[in-house]
């Protein structure tokens, strides 16, 4: 296949758009196998102008550096590229002006919002940096690293999300998922709540990553986005829901599955979550990703040690991450300190919630 010009193709996030790309590639390969028509020079990509940004991006996507990027990072690039390509894909980098980039960014703000426009500009700047290390067929550099026309554009920073779920609401979601026969989702929700892992990490979990120590069970994994080591501790309820799943699992197969038995993908997990959310919280816009923040709020309310919270979340939320990594090694015991703080914080949040109810007249003291 490689001798005929075929290459690996990033179809993007699982869904209709990715399936369409895969079907097109498969049809091209079938045509070549059965000797129908001419063999295209680059059947994995549409024709691109020599020296163009699209040509440079195609070359970048065939490098070892691209293949080593985390899947979520590649998804971010492709998501940004879909905004870049229509306006600049066929252009030579040096021919793009500040005025054009400024107008493009302003239009994105109105069309897709601050968050998506912010991502697109971030990918443009990263792409420019990588193009500056490539040479065209004539031997010239695609662009000058210091001449990025977007340098004068000031990006708007998206407002950080601040939505949280209370523990009782998370429990309602799990129970409603069970009632609606979303058994895989119910187990995934409980695991997401316990571990504070992101949805992509939860849906990638396997039985081979499950561990036991004297205090209980936990998942040991590398986070999909950063590759950083993570430990996801589990409650007894999570263990029960995993054990009760009505399908046999290979140790290396994803644990959580749809009602049809397919491993959860980003789109199917989101779709099922929204169905359960609508059944009990109609009109709510909170997401499964907000579970992660909710756990951090609980732990903070419970006076968590910053290093313990950083260990729990497998990120650099603590201010002195190098020192913490050196003197407080990442282990299950440290992560359980964050679990204990979450429990304290949950009690405090529950008390404050009931107090607000009394003051508003929603509840009357006995």
Distance CA 81, CA 17 (A): 14
Q: Do residue 177 and residue 233 come from a single domain?
A: yes
Q: CA dihedral defined by 310, 198, 193, 355, rounded to 10 degrees?
A: 70
Q: Give the 3-state secondary structure percentages of the chain, helix then strand then coil, rounded to 5.
A: 55, 5, 35
Q: Do residue 94 and residue 149 come from a single domain?
A: yes
Taking each helix axis from N to C end, the angle separating 290-301 and 306-313, rounded to the nearest 10 degrees, works out to 160
Q: Do residue 2 and residue 146 come from a single domain?
A: no
Structure tokens at 72: 């979520």
Structural domain for 120, as ranges: 48-159
In a domain, 13, yes or no: yes
Distance CA 349, CA 69 (A): 39
**How many H-runs (helices) and E-runs (strands) does the chain carry?**
15, 3
In DSSP terms, 222 is beta-bridged to 229
Q: Do residue 41 and residue 60 come from a single domain?
A: no
- pTM higher than the cut 0.95: no
Q: Do residue 197 and residue 66 come from a single domain?
A: no
In a domain, 104, yes or no: yes
In a domain, 366, yes or no: no
> Which pLDDT value is given to residue 361?
67
> What 3-state DSSP class applies to 27?
helix
Least Cα distance to 307 among 287, 326, 286, 282 occurs for: 326
Q: Looking at the 3D structure of the chain, how many domains does it have?
A: 3
Instruction: List strand residue ranges (DSSP E) for 183-246, in order.
Output: 210-213, 216-222, 229-233
Q: Do residue 152 and residue 11 come from a single domain?
A: no
Q: Do residue 281 and residue 232 come from a single domain?
A: yes
Per-residue pLDDT of the chain in tens (366 residues, 90 and over written 9): 665 656 667 777 676 667 767 877 777 777 666 654 444 443 444 556 889 999 999 889 888 898 888 877 888 899 999 999 999 998 999 999 999 999 999 999 999 999 899 999 999 999 999 999 999 988 999 999 999 999 999 998 877 777 889 999 999 999 999 999 999 999 999 999 999 999 999 999 999 999 999 889 999 998 877 778 889 999 999 999 999 999 888 899 999 999 999 999 989 999 999 999 999 999 999 999 999 888 888 888 788 888 788 888 887 655 444 434 433 345 576 678 889 899 999 998 888 888 887 777 655 544
Q: Do residue 281 and residue 342 come from a single domain?
A: yes
Q: How many CB atoms lie within 10 A of CB 161?
A: 12
Q: Do residue 62 and residue 42 come from a single domain?
A: no
Q: Do residue 220 and residue 137 come from a single domain?
A: no
In a domain, 365, yes or no: no
**CATH number of the domain that residue 107 is part of:** 1.10.150.130
Which residues, in sequence order, are CB contacts of 49 under 8 Å at separation 6+?
Answer: 55, 90, 92
Angle at 157 between CA 154 and CA 159, to 5 degrees: 160
Q: Do residue 82 and residue 202 come from a single domain?
A: no
Q: How far is CA 300 from the centre of its chain?
A: 24
Least Cα distance to 217 among 241, 199, 198, 201 occurs for: 241
Distance CA 250, CA 331 (A): 26
Instruction: Please spell the DSSP secondary structure of 83-140, one letter per residue.
Output: HHHHHHTTS-GGG--HHHHHHHHHHHHHHH-HHHHHHHHHHHHHHHHHHTT-B-TTS-
In a domain, 278, yes or no: yes
Q: Do residue 145 and residue 188 come from a single domain?
A: no
In a domain, 364, yes or no: no
Cβ distance 185 to 230 under 8 Å?
no
């Amino acid at each position: 296949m490689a001798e005929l010009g075929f290459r690996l193709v990033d179809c993007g996030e699982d869904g209709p758009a990715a399936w369409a790309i895969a079907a097109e590639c498969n049809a091209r390969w079938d045509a070549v196998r059965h000797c129908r028509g001419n063999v295209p020079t680059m059947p994995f990509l549409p024709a691109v102008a020599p020296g163009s940004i699209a040509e440079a991006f195609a070359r970048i996507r065939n490098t070892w550096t691209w293949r080593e990027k985390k899947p979520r990072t590649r998804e971010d690039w492709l998501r940004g590229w879909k905004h870049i390509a229509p306006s600049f894909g066929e252009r030579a980098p040096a021919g793009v002006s500040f005025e054009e980039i400024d107008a493009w960014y302003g239009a994105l703000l109105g069309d897709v919002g601050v968050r998506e426009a912010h991502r697109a500009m971030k990918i443009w700047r990263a792409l420019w940096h990588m193009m500056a290390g490539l040479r065209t067929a004539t031997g010239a550099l695609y662009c000058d690293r210091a001449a990025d026309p977007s340098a004068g554009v000031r990006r708007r920073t998206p407002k950080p999300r601040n939505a949280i779920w209370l523990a009782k609401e998370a429990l309602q979601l799990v129970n409603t998922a069970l009632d609606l026969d979303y058994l895989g989702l119910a187990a995934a929700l409980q695991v997401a709540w316990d571990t504070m892992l992101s949805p992509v990490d939860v849906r990638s979990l396997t039985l081979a990553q499950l561990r036991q120590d004297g205090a209980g069970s936990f998942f040991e994994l590398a986070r999909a986005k950063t590759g950083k080591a993570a430990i996801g501790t589990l409650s007894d309820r999570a263990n029960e829901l995993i054990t009760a799943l009505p399908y046999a699992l290979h140790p290396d197969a994803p644990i959580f599955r749809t009602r049809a038995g397919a491993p959860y993908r980003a789109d199917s997990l989101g779709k099922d979550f929204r169905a359960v959310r609508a059944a009990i919280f109609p009109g709510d816009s909170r997401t499964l990703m907000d579970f992660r923040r909710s756990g951090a709020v609980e732990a903070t309310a419970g006076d968590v040690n910053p290093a313990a919270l950083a260990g729990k979340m497998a990120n650099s939320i603590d201010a002195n991450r190098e020192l913490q990594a050196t003197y407080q090694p990442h282990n299950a015991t440290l992560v359980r300190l964050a679990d204990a703080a979450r429990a304290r914080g949950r009690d405090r949040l529950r008390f404050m919630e009931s107090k607000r109810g009394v003051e508003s007249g929603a509840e009357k003291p006995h």
